[in-house]
Amino acid sequence: SSNIDPMIALIPQEADRAAQSLLNKLIRSNLVNNTNQVEVLQRDPNSPLYSVKTFEELRLKPQLLQGVYGMGFNRPSKIQENALPMMLAEPPQNLIAQSQSGTGKTAAFVLAMLSHVNPTNKWTQCLCISPTYELALQTGKVVEQMGRFYPEVKLAYAVRGNKMERGSKIQEQIVIGTPGTVLDWFLKLKLMDPKKIRVFVLDEADVMIATQGHQDQSIRIQRMLPKDCQMLLFSATFEDSVWKFAERIVPDPNVIKLKREEETLDTIKQYYVLCNNKEDKFSALCNIYGAITIAQAMIFCHTRKIASWLAGQMSKEGHQVALLSGEMVIEQRAAVIERFREGKEKVLITTNVCARGIDVEQVSVVINFDLPLDKDGNPDNETYLHRIGRTGRFGKRGLAINMVDSDHSMDVLKAIEKHFNKKILKLDTDDLDEIEKIAN
Ligand SMILES: Nc1ncnc2c1ncn2[C@@H]1O[C@H](COP(=O)(O)OP(=O)(O)OP(=O)(O)O)[C@@H](O)[C@H]1O
């Protein structure tokens, strides 16, 4: 039912998924590189396939073009090249689009919503539903940025905590919200008329269906909308369950898919350092910091306890350290990630659990203070790759340093080295000249 608090309805693993998605948005400052080919499936195979290489070709309202350039976008991203012409076509086309996080989906549908609004009509015309409060706010920020030069268009949030009076009418043309509150606004409070919605966006479909109750609520919302309402659905992944859901939400869809780019270790220089204990590892770290200039680094620890100990030690040495820890609520984690992204802190120390699924493309140095283990204590190759790997042939070069402090961790290192068939070189951190060399 719609009065379940969405946060309570999230079972932990799914809460993680929404949190991951949010933190990824926050830590990213740029488009994610993807060299794969976009797959396009048109509903009407006889109609010409439009794609654009410039934003001018889209004939956007000047205020919106200004908004796009104001955000620093020069040209459409890969997915936008195909998605934007479809979404902006007359008559409007329905679309299901899948591409990994960071490829420009949000920017694309925000532009579509802003383009379809009639600002003289003071009622809700575009509706976007997101899996969580935080994700809804994040999308709202993009609407505000892109619509900066189009102030007649207003935005409201249908999220828990935004208390509205029954019977009043929402005048904002764009509403972004979570499914439960949106249903309440339609049915219980009658704040909006579903029949007047012209564009419906369902964002993060994969996260949405992982949250109990959201799938049914989304379908109920969709059924209230007019037949000719444009339906758009976005997802970062495309398991069968997502696809089945997508087909129920979006009738007669065009489909755009961009395969996730594989991560590789090809552009990464990997080293290990032999130590005896955690104090030893800390002094090795200090030596490394003393020898080379590290713009920003991420340091992974096995437990919260080690992570906070290390954060304390590094602070004492004068480093600006941020700590991402498991007991923090999502708002706190988001704040830490944002400060790190803005460069206010140069070192981000975190545990595995906390940072799982977070992309750290812009971090040039990754230090495994502890090597990644799965829950059975075995080498966790996948996590290792995700921590230090980079996507794309043009991915920036990176440096990874692994701290080894026991026979067991040496075995783990050897197993990882063997798995990827990529040499991990030994580094003597007492030899300053040697450390300096690895930075070049
Ligand atoms: N055409 C573009 N040119 C340059 N940067 C862009 C462009 N489109 C989007 N971006 C930027 O790239 C980043 C990712 O875009 P966006 O958030 O739209 O991706 P996404 O696929 O929706 O991923 P997520 O769902 O994780 O947010 C953002 O920082 C955004 O401002």
Give the pLDDT confidence score for residue 76 in this predicted structure.
96
Q: Whose CA is nearest to atom 3 of ligand 1?
A: 73
Q: How many angstroms is it from 101 CA to the middle of ligand 1?
A: 8
Question: Which pLDDT value is given to residue 30?
Answer: 77
**Among the atoms of ligand 1, which is closest to the Cα of residue 103?**
21
Q: If you measure from the C-alpha of residue 80 to the centroid of ligand 1, how many angstroms do you get, rounded to a whole number?
A: 10
pLDDT at residue number 7: 39
Q: Write out the chain's pLDDT in tens, 440 residues.
A: 334 333 333 344 555 788 778 877 877 767 877 888 899 988 887 777 789 999 999 999 999 999 999 999 999 999 999 999 999 998 889 999 999 888 999 999 999 999 999 999 999 999 999 999 999 999 999 999 999 999 999 999 999 988 888 889 999 999 999 999 999 999 999 999 999 999 999 999 999 998 889 999 999 999 999 999 999 999 999 899 999 999 999 999 999 999 887 888 888 899 999 999 999 999 999 999 888 888 889 999 999 999 999 999 999 999 999 998 878 888 888 889 888 888 888 899 998 776 666 666 667 789 999 999 988 889 999 889 888 887 655 556 789 999 999 999 999 999 999 999 999 999 988 887 888 888 76
The three state secondary structure string of the chain is CCCCCHHHHCCHHHHHHHHHHHHHHHHCCCCCCCCCCEEEECCCCCCCCCCCCCCHHHCCCHHHHHHHHHCCCCCCCHHHHHHHHHHHCCCCCCEEEECCCCCCHHHHHHHHHHHHCCCCCCCCCEEEECCCHHHHHHHHHHHHHHCCCCCCCCEEEECCCCCCCCCCCCCCCEEEECHHHHHHHHHHCCCCCHHHCCEEEECCHHHHHHCCCHHHHHHHHHHHCCCCCEEEEEECCCCHHHHHHHHHHCCCCEEEEECCCCEECCCEEEEEEECCCHHHHHHHHHHHHHHCCCCCEEEEECCHHHHHHHHHHHHHCCCCEEEECCCCCHHHHHHHHHHHHCCCCCEEEEEHHHHCCCCCCCCCEEEECCCCECCCCCECHHHHHHHHCEECCCCCCEEEEEEECCHHHHHHHHHHHHHHCCCCEECCCCCHHHHHHHCC
Which atom of ligand 1 is closest in space to residue 138's alpha carbon?
27
Ligand 1 atom with the shortest distance to the CA of 107: 18
pLDDT score for 296 = 86
The atom number, within ligand 1, closest to the CA of 80 reads 1
pLDDT of residue 290: 85
Please tell me the residue having the least CA distance from ligand 1 atom 24.
Answer: 101
Using the mean position of ligand 1's atoms as its centre, give its distance from the Cα of residue 112 in Å: 14
Pocket test for ligand 1, best of 103, 235, 238 (most atoms within 8 A of CB): 103
Q: State the pLDDT at residue 364.
A: 79
Pocket test of ligand 1: the residue of 29, 73, 232, 361 to mutate, having most ligand atoms within 8 Å of its CB, is 73
108 Cα: distance to centroid of ligand 1 (angstroms): 8
* Test site for ligand 1: of 23, 55, 65, 105, most ligand atoms within 8 A of the Cβ: 105
In this predicted structure, what is the pLDDT of residue 362?
67
Residue-level pLDDT at 8: 37
Cα(77) to centroid of ligand 1, in Å?
A: 8
Output the CA 123–ligand 1 centroid distance in Å: 28
Q: What's the pLDDT score for residue 391?
A: 64
What's the gap in Å between 276 CA and the centre of ligand 1?
A: 44
Q: How far is the CA of 102 from the centre of ligand 1 (A)?
A: 5
Q: Which residues line ligand 1 (CB under 6 A)?
A: 24-25, 28-31, 71, 73, 76-77, 80, 101-107
Cα of 93 to ligand 1 centre, how many Å? 22
